[in-house]
Amino acid sequence: MGWVWVLIPLAAIIIGGITEIIKESNKRATRLGETSDELSNALSTLRSQMDRMEEGQKAGQKRLQNLEAIVTNQVWDILHDETQTKDERLASVDGSGLLASAEGFDAPDNAKEVEKLARRLRG
């Protein structure tokens, strides 16, 4: 019966060890949950930033296409032909109606007007 007295301290030590293991695993689970919440928030922030960047890129591509249509148009080439005088260049495009509609398109924030001109030149 003397060996029973040995089991009592051993049981206390084992129960204490198991309790510590359970506490540590709970702490890890809590930290892991916090980390996954942080990652989820960061991911949603990155997604919204990426969506805004894609919208900006699409707008930039559309503007670039409009500007390309304007620049590659024959009227643009005539107006910027260095071999002719200004009067000769104006006479070449006079009557096309595009010269009057092209005035004021050098403002960088004039995207809608540039788009109108591009459509007109493509037409």
For the chain, the domain total comes to 1
More confident call, 2 vs 37? 37
String of b and e for 61-81 (b: at least 16 CB within 10 Å)? Answer: eeeeebbebbeebebbebbee
Concatenated DSSP letters of 42-110: HHHHHHHHHHHHHHHHHHHHHHHHHHHHHHTSHHHHHHT-TTS-HHHHHHHHTTSSHHHHTTTTT-TT-
**What's the confidence (pLDDT) of residue 46?**
93
Closest CA to 119 of 81, 62, 80: 62
pTM above 0.75, yes or no: no
Domain of residue 102: give its range.
4-122
pLDDT in tens, 33-55: 777 778 888 899 999 999 999 99
